[in-house]
Amino acid sequence: MNKILIVIEREFSTRIRKKSFILLTILMPFLVIGVICLPILLAGLDSNKEIKVAVIDHTGQYAPILKDNGNLRFVPLAQMDDSLKKDKSSFSAVILISKDLSADSTGATIYSHKEVPAELTSYFNRTISDHIRDTRITQYQIPQLNQIISKCRVDYKVRTIKWTDEGEENLSSSEIAGLIGMLLTLLIYMFVLSYGGMVMQGVCEEKANRIMEIMVSSVKPFQLMMGKIIGVALVGIIQFAIWSVLIGIGMTIIGLFTGQQPDVAQTAELNQFMSSDIPMPNSPASEIMQIMQGINFGEILTMFVLYFLGGYLLFASFFAAIGASINEQSDSSQFMTPIVIIMIFSLYAGMFSINNPDGPLAMWCSLIPITSPIVMMVRLPFGVPAWQLILSLVLLYATAIGVVALSAKIYRVGILMYGKKPTFKEMMKWIKFK
């Protein structure tokens, strides 16, 4: 055990001192914040840009109803001429209406020197559709028919309530649950793939430098492999924790500078509602707060840690065995392809399981050890039967222990093999060595 701890300490200290680790740890939060905030900022800068549109209406019916809306400015013109085709500065787009659109839907066309703005097409389609509908309703000559239809139009959204084991009622949302599950799935997928690959890379480097020959003289191959796996895991956890803190601080600072800090009065009112039995106001923000309160984040976090540890141990063992079996990293694709395909399949299975978290695909993939760490994350926010969680964890850790034992046998032979690419048949023989 002491030797494993020594290997863990060496692997951990070596990696956190690398310039690549320091740079990635510092720069990644800025990259994430930039990816999140930059599009919003750029969209805000461009939101005030005026979109000037020429309207040529040969029917005379539709130009009057196209009113200025937001950034859209409509300018009626008598006819289409060649200057509109050549001049790029006067108008962003030209709308040509040549026929009665209620009789012929192809009677309108939008021309532009660039891609037509989605804002313009959306507004035009909505306005024309409403006008044609109102015109057809008027043709029936029924008094106040339009008002009657407007009153009958309902955009209904049903409330969903989830019962707890104690019979309490909590507001729920499949959309929010699916979003949380997908976020957890992506985290495990990226973590396992990135840091599992780091284990393989470390083994390859030490094997190429012949350092491995010196290390195995004093440390058993199994101890060396487990030390590397655990050491890289600790590096990943520390790195992820630093990223979380820096991203949180960065987003908070951006919120303060952009004037998005919470109002004191609103915060006090929210706390009052949360500490009392008074129902919260029916607003989107309050509904989201109530939904989040109904989600058992303690259970989700516990299961996330357990599945992360089991999944990482399983796949990192595969990567360690691959690293020990090859001489150069360029040779790794032959062995890594099946593992990557399995992980991609797991990710897609998780994505398709959002709409049916209790379906056959979701259930079986959350029980099979090689897919359960990723797929089960999608199901957790929706609630999973206790027997499925227990069975899934037992199968995952039993498989992980078995894979560790098999990988250790491949590892002990492979780390001292040079100059030849092993086949799967040869690797099976390594497993049988005593």
Name which residue leads in pLDDT, 73 or 205: 73
DSSP states of 328-355? SGGGHHHHHHHHHHHHHHHHHHHHHTSS
Q: What is the pLDDT of residue 61?
A: 86
Judge contact between 55 and 95, C-beta under 8 A: yes
Burial of 195 (0-12, 13-18, 19+ CB in 10 A): buried
Over residues 273-283, the pLDDT tens digits come to 444 444 444 55
Per-residue confidence (pLDDT) for residue 86, from 0 to 100: 78
Q: How many CB atoms lie within 10 A of CB 389?
A: 18
Q: Average pLDDT over the chain, rounded to whole? A: 78
pLDDT of 278: 43
Rg (CA), the chain: 31
Q: Which of 35-44, 196-205, 226-235, 289-298 has the highest mean pLDDT?
A: 226-235
- Residue 392 has what pLDDT? 93
In terms of pLDDT, which residue wins out, 285 or 125?
Answer: 125
Backbone angles phi, psi at 369, to 5 degrees: -60, -40
pLDDT at res. 44: 57
Torsion angle (degrees, nearest 10) of CA 229, 231, 237, 242: -150
Positive or negative, the CA dihedral 159, 163, 168, 174 is negative
Q: How many CB atoms lie within 10 A of CB 341?
A: 10
CA distance to 21, 30, 243, 255, 264, per residue, from 248 (Å): 20, 11, 8, 11, 20
Q: Is residue 357 packed enough to be buried (19+ CB in 10 Å), middle (13-18) or exposed (0-12)?
A: buried
User: Is it the case that residue 285 has pLDDT exceeding 70?
Assistant: no
State how far Cα 341 lies from the chain centre: 19
Picking from 382, 307, 370, 364, the residue whose alpha carbon sits closest to that of residue 340 is 370
Residue with tokens 């005593």: 434
> What is the rounded distance in angstroms from the CA atom of residue 289 to the CA atom of residue 283?
10
Indicate the length of the chain as a whole number. Answer: 434
Give the pLDDT of residue 277: 47
**Region at 127 (left for phi over 0; alpha for psi -120 to 50; beta for the rest):** alpha
Residue 106: Cβ within 10 Å count: 8
Q: Please report the sign of the dihedral spanned by the C-alpha atoms of residue 13, residue 195, residue 375, residue 355.
A: positive
First vs last C-alpha separation in the chain: 22
In angstroms, rounded to a whole number, what is the distance separating the alpha carbons of residues 53 and 84? 11
pLDDT of 60 above 80: yes
pLDDT at 261 over 60: no
Is residue 20 pLDDT above 60, yes or no?
yes
Give the residue from 388, 383, 385 showing the smallest Cα distance to 177.
383
**Percent of the chain at pLDDT exceeding 90:** 4
Report pLDDT digits (tens) over 201-255: 777 777 766 676 677 667 777 777 888 888 888 888 888 888 888 888 887 887 7
46: confidence class by pLDDT, cuts 50, 70, 90: low
pLDDT at 25: 85
Specify the DSSP class assigned to residue 62: S
Cα 255 to Cα 251: distance, rounded to the nearest angstrom: 6
pLDDT bin (cut points 50, 70, 90) of residue 398 is very high
Whether residue 346 has pLDDT greater than 70: yes
For 56, list phi and psi in degrees, rounded to 5: -115, 100
Residue 335's pLDDT band, with cuts at 50, 70 and 90, is: confident
Separation CA 400–CA 154 (nearest Å) = 54
pLDDT at 159 over 70: no
Token pair for 174: 């499949």
pLDDT for 399:
92
Per-residue pLDDT band at 419 (split at 50, 70, 90): low
How much is the pLDDT for 327? Answer: 66
* Domain residue limits, the chain: 51-149, 172-432
What architecture (CATH level 2) is domain 51-149?
Answer: 3-Layer(aba) Sandwich (3.40)
Q: What is the pLDDT of residue 281?
A: 46
Query: Helix axis angle, 284-293 relative to 264-274, nearest 10°?
Result: 40
Using CA atoms, how far residue 264 sits from 12, 256, 257, 271, 287, in Å, is 44, 14, 17, 11, 20
